[in-house]
């Protein structure tokens, strides 16, 4: 009797110790009943396009079809894994707009057409598509922050009747660093699109200035409007202040956050901002929900 109780207790504690992590986003597709997020799946690179010496676009054959704003964990055996946003919303392929920033992204950079890459995901919560219905949208991106915004633009193109006016503001350092130039040209003819170059004083083809200045020059509609931002936090901060000035409250502004990640499903705590996990609760957050947490994070780092 005594030993049975002991065995039961031992079994219970082992179950607790070796509990599998909580399943990720239930919307994540399954393969044969297995949640895909846990499984790195080999994918073939269909094509590669260089935009700048340190940014390339990898087109990869895939049926994952990630929701706009979600991300993928991309790995190279023997090197490591890193989170990358999906830069398209299309059945049949995904695109990764990758900046060569360190170990893993350098290894991705060295891959060639036809090579295999491992991908798990999609992870996280993307843009709040239901809340965006029947709204004017402001899409703001700086640098490779254009990746998740491109995915959102694909979604808008496929569901035009769901949205009112679309205002797009992109910021790049100089003309050489403009990413996805050929797509921007196409979008210019359909949406209200403005580009600002922050450091290209002799360029006469584009407007000069930071994104907040470009928004100030070309004001968007602010009634019934939601803004989606992705890029360096300093850029999102300045743009948000301009949006607030125009009358858009923080509850109608969404930021896409980047933090270092490991598990990508809320288990390791690597990406935590206080009680929130960027991988599981984000990476897209309503700004009113994260503002005070980011302020605390910044003041504790100062």
Ligand X SMILES: Cc1cc2nc3c(=O)[nH]c(=O)nc-3n(C[C@H](O)[C@H](O)[C@H](O)COP(=O)(O)OP(=O)(O)OC[C@H]3O[C@@H](n4cnc5c(N)ncnc54)[C@H](O)[C@@H]3O)c2cc1C
Token couple for 158: 């496929």
Q: Which does 253 bind (CB under 5 to 8 A by kind): ligand X, ligand FES, none?
A: none
Query: Judged by CB under 6 A, which of 106, 262, 293, 297 binds ligand FES?
Result: 262
Is 282 a residue that touches ligand FES (CB under 6 A)? Answer: no
Look at residue 264 and give the partner it binds from ligand X, ligand FES, none, a contact being a CB closer than 5 to 8 Å depending on partner kind.
ligand FES
Q: Which residue has the tokens 């895909």?
A: 36
| Eight-state DSSP code of residue 138 | E
Instruction: Please check whether residue 193 is in contact with residue 168, taking contact to mean a CB–CB distance below 8 angstroms.
Output: yes
Residue 98's binding partner among ligand FES, ligand X, none (Cβ under 5 to 8 angstroms by kind) is: ligand X
21 contacts ligand FES (rule: CB under 6 A): no
Mapping DSSP onto H, E and C, the string for 242-287 reads: HHHHHCCCHHHEEEECCCCCCCCCCCCCCCEECCEEHHHHCEEEEH
Name the residues that contact ligand X, by CB under 6 A.
71, 80, 82-85, 97-99, 101-105, 144, 147, 258-261, 283
Q: Give 36 or 104: the residue with its C-beta nearer to ligand X.
A: 104
The answer to the question of residue 270 lying near ligand FES (CB under 6 A) is: yes
Structure tokens at 133: 């219905």
Query: Does 290 interact with ligand FES (rule: CB under 6 A)?
Result: no
Whole-angstrom distance, CA of residue 173 vs CA of residue 60? 28
**How far is the C-alpha of 155 from the C-alpha of 54, rounded, in Å?**
27
Choose, by CB under 6 A, the member of 108, 178, 264, 284 that binds ligand FES.
264
CA gap 283, 256 in Å, rounded: 5
Q: Is 269 in the site for ligand FES (CB under 6 A)?
A: yes
CB of 71 to ligand FES, least distance (A): 11
Give me the residues that bind ligand FES (CB under 6 A), please. Answer: 261-264, 266-271, 277, 279
């Amino acid at each position: 009797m005594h030993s049975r109780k002991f065995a039961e207790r031992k079994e219970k504690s082992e179950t607790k110790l070796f509990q599998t992590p909580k399943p990720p986003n239930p919307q994540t597709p399954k393969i044969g009943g297995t949640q895909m997020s846990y499984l790195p799946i080999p994918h073939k690179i269909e094509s590669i396009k260089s935009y700048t010496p340190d940014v390339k676009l990898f087109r990869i054959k895939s049926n994952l079809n990630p929701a706009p704003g979600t991300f993928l964990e991309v790995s190279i055996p023997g090197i490591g894994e890193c989170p990358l946003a999906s830069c398209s919303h299309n059945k049949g392929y995904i695109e990764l707009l990758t900046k060569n920033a360190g170990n893993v992204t350098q290894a991705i950079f060295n891959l060639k057409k036809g090579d295999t890459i491992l991908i798990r995901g999609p992870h996280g919560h993307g843009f709040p598509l239901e809340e965006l219905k029947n709204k004017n949208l402001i899409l703001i991106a700086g640098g490779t922050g254009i990746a998740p915004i491109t995915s959102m633009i694909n979604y808008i193109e496929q569901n035009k009747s769901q949205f009112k006016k679309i205002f797009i503001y992109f910021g790049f350092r100089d003309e050489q660093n403009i990413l996805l130039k050929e797509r921007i040209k196409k979008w210019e003819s359909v949406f209200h699109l403005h580009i600002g170059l922050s450091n290209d004083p002799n360029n006469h083809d584009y407007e000069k200035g930071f994104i907040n200045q470009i928004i100030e020059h070309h004001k968007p509609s602010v009634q019934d409007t939601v803004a989606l931002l992705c890029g360096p936090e300093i850029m999102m901060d300045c743009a948000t202040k301009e949006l607030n000035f125009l009358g858009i409250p923080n509850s109608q502004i969404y930021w896409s956050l980047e933090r270092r990640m490991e598990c990508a499903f809320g288990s390791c705590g690597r990406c935590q901002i206080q009680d929130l996990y960027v991988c599981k609760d984000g990476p897209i957050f309503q700004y009113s929900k994260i503002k005070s947490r980011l302020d605390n994070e910044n003041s504790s780092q100062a």
